[in-house]
């Protein structure tokens, strides 16, 4: 009887031991999932990558960090892109993503810049008023005083406001411009190393970057910028009063939506000569009594250039007074705002002023 009882106790102890062992194994699996049998390795909840894949991912992360931390170093950026491109599909995708994000940000800025500003409608309306006046064959001084001057005054205010807004936006865009320039240099370096379309489409990214840089860095009129730069280079040749008058005319033209005029030293010479003749010979006319200088074209020819038109004024030694008078005189007004003129010259002697206009570059071009 005792033996039977002991046998039963031993059996129960054995069963309890087995249960504890099973519980212990289950707990170990919970704490160490990777130690489960092979059939559980592909579980959706557990991702075990081979060492090689881990190395690639780490290298991709390093390449991304390297690219982002060398924004002002084109050679290092090119090296980072090359590193990524050589890492296979993951690296190529990361390089494309970096370049795309930079370009998309600039494209968004350029897209906003192309939208009409709150000033554009007012500027367009006021400019049209002045164009209609110029094209009126019966234009009178009274029209210029009652319609032209108020339109010009309003246009100056709105034009200045827009110019300030554009300058503020240009300052904001400066960082994008520099970033694009650095990107272009980096991509060009990759081109030199044989990266054109594969494994990284360098040519496509380079074209996009150049397009965005051109749109972002260009102002209202590149032609105007070029003319003003040439004028600045020639400024030392002219007196301050002549420069003020020529600059004032160019400001007027640009405000009205017309290109500025190129300074022409030969036209200035002819203009000053006629002003001096009018003062010393006491006459006021486009037709000169001086031999060989009868017409504006004659005077331009003697100075070595050609003449499209001429304005004359008598009454003040200040160039701005001459321009105001010409603005209110129909014929002179049309000369100053002519779409055919490309060059200007200004000269004075005492209270006499002469303004001359030419086409082309003055050298037959």
Distance CA 49, CA 65 (A): 22
Q: Is residue 9 predicted with pLDDT exceeding 70?
A: no
Distance CA 362, CA 365 (A): 7
Token reading at 72: 């002002």
- When pLDDT is cut at 50, 70 and 90, the band that residue 97 belongs to is very high
Among the listed ranges 113-117, 255-259, 306-310, 329-333, which one has the minimum average pLDDT value?
113-117
pLDDT of res. 11: 38
pLDDT of res. 306: 96
Average pLDDT over residues 245-260: 95
pLDDT of res. 2: 35
pLDDT of res. 172: 78
pLDDT of res. 196: 75
User: What 3-state DSSP class applies to 309?
Assistant: strand
**C-alpha to C-alpha distances, 246 to 36, 260, 281, nearest whole angstrom:** 88, 10, 26
Token reading at 216: 């972002």
pLDDT of res. 115: 64
Distance CA 215, CA 249 (A): 28
pLDDT of res. 194: 84
Average pLDDT over residues 213-235: 83
Q: Is residue 65 predicted with pLDDT exceeding 50?
A: yes
- When pLDDT is cut at 50, 70 and 90, the band that residue 28 belongs to is very low
Q: Helix and strand tally (H, E) in the chain? A: 14, 4
Phi, psi of 263 (to 5 degrees): -65, 140
Mean pLDDT of all residues belonging to the chain: 83
- When pLDDT is cut at 50, 70 and 90, the band that residue 219 belongs to is low
pLDDT tens digit string along 142-161? 999 999 999 999 999 999 99
Q: Please compute Rg for the chain using Cα positions.
A: 39
User: What 3-state DSSP class applies to 338?
Assistant: coil
| Residue in this structure with the two tokens 């050298």, named with its chain if needed | 363
Average pLDDT over residues 113-130: 85
pLDDT tens digit string along 342-361? 999 999 999 999 999 999 87
pLDDT of res. 113: 63
CA dihedral defined by 96, 101, 102, 104, rounded to 10 degrees? 110
- When pLDDT is cut at 50, 70 and 90, the band that residue 30 belongs to is very low
**Strand 343-349 relative to strand 262-263, pairing:** parallel
């Amino acid at each position: 009887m005792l033996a039977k009882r002991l046998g039963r106790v031993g059996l129960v102890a054995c069963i309890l031991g087995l249960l504890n062992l099973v519980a212990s194994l289950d707990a170990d699996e919970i704490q160490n999932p990777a130690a489960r049998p092979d059939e559980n390795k592909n579980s959706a909840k557990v991702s075990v990558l081979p060492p090689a894949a881990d190395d690639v991912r780490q290298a991709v992360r390093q390449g991304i960090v390297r690219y982002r931390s060398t924004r002002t170093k084109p050679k290092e950026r090119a090296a980072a892109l090359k590193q990524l491109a050589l890492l296979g599909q993951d690296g190529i995708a990361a390089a494309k993503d970096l370049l795309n994000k930079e370009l998309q940000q600039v494209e968004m800025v350029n897209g906003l810049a192309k939208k009409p500003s709150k000033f554009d409608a007012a500027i367009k309306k006021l400019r049209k008023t002045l164009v209609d006046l110029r094209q009126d064959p019966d234009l009178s001084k009274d029209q210029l005083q009652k319609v032209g001057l108020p339109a010009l005054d309003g246009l100056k205010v709105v034009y200045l406001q827009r110019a300030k807004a554009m300058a503020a936006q240009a300052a904001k865009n400066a960082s994008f411009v520099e970033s694009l320039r650095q990107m272009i240099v980096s991509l060009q370096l990759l081109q030199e190393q044989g990266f054109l379309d594969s494994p990284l489409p360098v040519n496509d990214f380079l074209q996009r970057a150049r397009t965005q840089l051109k749109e972002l860095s260009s102002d209202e009129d590149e032609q105007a910028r070029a003319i003003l730069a040439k004028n600045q280079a020639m400024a030392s040749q002219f007196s301050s009063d002549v420069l003020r008058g020529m600059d004032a005319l160019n400001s007027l033209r640009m405000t009205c939506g017309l290109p500025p005029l190129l300074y022409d030293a030969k036209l200035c010479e002819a203009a000053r000569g006629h002003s001096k003749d009018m003062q010393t010979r006491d006459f006021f006319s486009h037709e000169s009594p001086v031999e060989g200088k009868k017409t504006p074209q004659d005077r331009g020819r003697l100075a070595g250039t050609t003449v499209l038109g001429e304005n004359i004024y008598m009454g003040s030694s200040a160039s701005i007074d001459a321009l105001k008078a010409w603005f209110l005189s129909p014929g002179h007004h049309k000369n100053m705002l002519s779409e055919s003129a490309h060059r200007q010259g200004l000269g004075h002697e005492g209270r006499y002023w002469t303004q001359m206009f030419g086409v082309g570059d003055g050298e037959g071009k």
